[in-house]
Amino acid sequence: MAIMNVNPTRMQMTKLKKQLQTAKRGHKMLKDKRDELMRQFIELVQENKKLRDEVEKKLSECNAHFISASSVMSHQALDSSLMSSKQQTGVEIDSKNIMSVDVPVFSSVAESPNEGDIFPYGFAFTSFELDGAVMSLQELLPELIRLAETEKSCELMAAEIERTRRRVNSLEHVMIPRYEETIKYISMKLEENDRSSRTRLMKVKDMLLDKAHNYSGKYTNPAGE
């Protein structure tokens, strides 16, 4: 792991230690966020699967109704019956925040207050099978909108989980080790400088003692030997 290009000073080491503590706190917070996002994402995926299974089952039932209607009505009559719609349905879009992720909230809005306007035809020349098909589609609409909402929410949360995972990995495997290696390098350099300083001081002390007391001079025998 490459160390940072910094001056090996005590002030710089103190600064890096504070940054390391901040990085570790950020790493823990991001890990907690990632874990909570994963928990809620799994719940959404399970709900999405359940909704999709229900919607697909009910769509099959709607198709069965339309097949029954087409068996007793001509294709021209069926097409003309469904050509002009009396009721327009819109979708209102709002949002909610889940762990800093803005996910959509969809809701259907019917522009006509009359419930009978879901049938775009008169009842004189159509079959009750067609009525059942239209009613089943109308009942299925909220679930279709909810399915779209959960699928979009899953997509957005998956993207946020991936971004958070990359940040966690960057802190865990790059930034925090670089801080630790740099602090270790500065600490070793400071210890080396301290040892060099002590060595120099000891040499200076020896020189001063030698100069003052001639400790390093040749030994002379007092008896002249």
DSSP-derived secondary structure for the chain: -PPP-----HHHHHHHHHHHHHHHHHHHHHHHHHHHHHHHHHHHHHHHHHHHHHHHHHHHHHHHHHHHHHHHS-HHHHHHHTTS-S--EEEEEEEEEETTEEEEEEEEEES---GGGG--S-SSSS-HHHHHHHHHHHHHHHHHHHHHHHHHHHHHHHHHHHHHHHHHHHIIIIIHHHHHHHHHHHHHHHHHHHHHHHHHHHHHHHHHHHHHH-TTSPP--TT--
Q: Sketch the domain layout of the chain as residue ranges.
A: 34-155
Q: Which of 57-61, 69-73, 172-176, 217-221 has the lowest mean pLDDT?
A: 217-221
**Is 224 a residue whose pLDDT tops 50?**
no
Q: Compute the mean pLDDT over every residue in the chain, rounded to the nearest whole number.
A: 83
Per-residue model confidence (pLDDT) at position 86? 67
Q: Which of 33-42, 46-55, 131-140, 145-154 has the lowest mean pLDDT?
A: 131-140
**Predicted model pTM:** 0.72
Per-residue model confidence (pLDDT) at position 120? 64
Give per-residue pLDDT as tens, 75-120: 776 766 666 666 677 788 899 998 888 999 988 776 666 665 566 6
At 125, the pLDDT band (50, 70, 90 cuts) reads low
Stretch 4-32: mean pLDDT: 92
Give per-residue pLDDT as tens, 143-174: 999 999 999 999 999 999 999 999 999 999 99
CATH of region 34-155: 1.10.287.3240
Per-residue model confidence (pLDDT) at position 217? 46
At 124, the pLDDT band (50, 70, 90 cuts) reads low
Q: Which of 134-143, 161-170, 203-212 has the lowest mean pLDDT?
A: 203-212
